[in-house]
Structure 1
Amino acid sequence: MILERQNFMNINQISAELEKEFTNKSIEQEDIEKLQALARLYQLYQAGANEIGTKLENLDAEFQVNYDHNPIHHMEERMKSVQSLLNKLVKKGYALSVENVRAHIFDIAGIRVVTNYIDDVYLIEKMLLNQSDVTLMQRKDYIAQPKTSGYRSLHIVVSVPVFQSTGSKPVNVEIQIRTVGMDMWASLEHKLRYKTDIEAELVDHYGADLHDYATELSGIEIKMQALYQKLNQYKN
């Protein structure tokens, strides 16, 4: 299992990026303090993502020792970009403030967990939520109920305490858990809808194909999981 961590920005880099959003405005001291507070908030959420990432690494390693199986294929940590954060606040109709960010944005810090089999998705969720300091805040199961596009994944938002010099603070981290097949499908759909300049008619055409492929892929993954379970019966 491989955890890919971003090279997270420090407070000066985050402040500089935030200040770009105010290039056409006069920056008052109040604005500067607000930007610095947001930069510190980013660091807090980065720490939250690292806390969850470490927990998942430990669970995967423990499962390997006890059951000779790694439920996690790989993981990726990511932080929402400053521009995306600001756009989401505007879209929701909230002013730029630390309070609004903490109260209304739940995907500042995120981890994508890619598993080997469908059962592993729910195993990872169960093991993580069994930890006494991890609290479930939101849950959306797009595997049990796929999106109309065919997208499948389990999305949960958890709260985890982060210990800093000033004390412990709860931090929300979004976790997307999906199989290798689901991840491959989601990457292709994202490319189709957001990374290409083809005509809308073709997007709809290929999107319909992808919807069918999602159903086929799900059926194949269920069969492969069943085969894996049968093979486990012959382990020494």
Structure 2
Amino acid sequence: MGEQAQIEQFKKIKTELTRFLMMYKFALDEIETKVEILKEEFQSLHDYSPIEHTKSRLKSPESIMKKIYRKNSGLSLHDIKKNIKDIAGLRITCSFISDIYRVKSMLENQDDLTILEIKDYIRYPKPNGYKSLHMLVEVPVFMSDRQERVCVEIQIRTIAMDFWASLEHKIFYKYNQSVPEHLLQELKDAADAADELDRKMERLHTDIKEIKENNALQMEDEFGSILVNNRQFRLPAAFLDLIGEGERGIK
């Protein structure tokens, strides 16, 4: 093969690899936009958002190559796309466990997303105590000459779960995967403590929500009724509307 032919082949490979990685970036952009829309809509309708924050990442070419060798996968871009499903990843952090399943349901209702797999490590934690909900979804990406369906891994967890997972990762990185047994047990104990905190905060959240709803109903009763001789009378809605129109006329 001549030098010019080698240069052309190299350019072709570089272009294909660039387009390949860009597909995953565009898929992440698409998912992040969807999540942001869901977050803003929920906030507007319910004065509350189940999503605290999000974080996305793309595997580097070096990380992809390491995983190829670990999985003994083929080296073609087709093989990589088929066998490595976490090239693009999005982490969604929520305040409460119930929020995790609320976000999961909202994503499942997106018609253009294909749910490939769901792993619930909250109901079924890993032996080391790891908890999170993982979703593999396919996202349609429209390139200049074709449409591709690209896989994105979504991890949804609470703040406590995220803190624990980050700490566990740092410890394993420091000890190069060989962690002393007593630290493994302490990590498991910490995971149990994080789970108890999550469940306690969930109970508090539920109780406060009920109090807020009851106060709203009480205010509605107070403004929609009058007290005469210790007897409470509800005011007709039409009468309240009439009063409101009169007040707007005075202004």
The alignment partner of 2:38 has SS state of: helix
Identity of aligned residues (%): 39
Query: 1:121/1:35 Cα in 2 relative to 1: closer, same or farther (>3 Å)?
Result: same
Displacement, 1:58? 0.6
- Aligned residue number for residue 230 of structure 1: 207
The alignment partner of 1:233 has SS state of: helix
Which of 52, 61, 66 lines up with 2:40 in the alignment? 61
Query: 1:152/1:65 Cα in 2 relative to 1: closer, same or farther (>3 Å)?
Result: same
Q: Larger deviation: 70-79 or 84-93?
A: 84-93
- Aligned residue number for residue 82 of structure 1: 61
User: Partners of 2:11 and 2:187 in 1: how far apart?
Assistant: 46
User: Partners of 2:147 and 2:177 in 1: how far apart?
Assistant: 50
Give the residue type in structure 1 aligned to 2:118.
R
- Aligned residue number for residue 214 of structure 1: 191
User: Partners of 2:143 and 2:197 in 1: how far apart?
Assistant: 46
- Aligned residue number for residue 126 of structure 1: 105
User: Partners of 2:89 and 2:27 in 1: how far apart?
Assistant: 9
Map 1:33-182 → 2, pairs under 5 A: 33-182=12-161
Query: 1:211/1:234 Cα in 2 relative to 1: closer, same or farther (>3 Å)?
Result: same
The alignment partner of 1:77 has SS state of: strand
The count of corresponding residues between Structure 1 and Structure 2 is 208
Contact 2:94 2:158 in 1 (8 A): yes
More helix by share: 2
Q: Which has the higher contact order (CA 8 A, sep 6+)?
A: 1
Structure 1 gap segments, 5+ residues each? 1-26
Contact 1:121 1:154 in 2 (8 A): yes
The alignment partner of 2:201 has SS state of: helix
Displacement, 1:217? 1.4
Displacement, 1:30? 4.3
Contact 2:74 2:80 in 1 (8 A): no
- Aligned residue number for residue 6 of structure 1: none
User: Partners of 1:136 and 1:198 in 2: how far apart?
Assistant: 34
Q: TM-score, normalised by structure 1?
A: 0.83
- 1:45-103 CA distances to partner (integer Å, 9 max, x unpaired)? 10001100110011011111111111111100100111110111122222321101111
- Aligned residue number for residue 240 of structure 2: none
User: Partners of 2:180 and 2:57 in 1: how far apart?
Assistant: 27
User: Partners of 1:203 and 1:64 in 2: how far apart?
Assistant: 45
Displacement, 1:199? 9.8
- Structure 1 outlier segments of 4+, above 3 Å: 27-32, 197-200
Q: Larger deviation: 179-188 or 96-105?
A: 96-105
Displacement, 1:184? 0.2
User: Partners of 2:191 and 2:117 in 1: how far apart?
Assistant: 25
Structure of higher CA gyration radius: 2
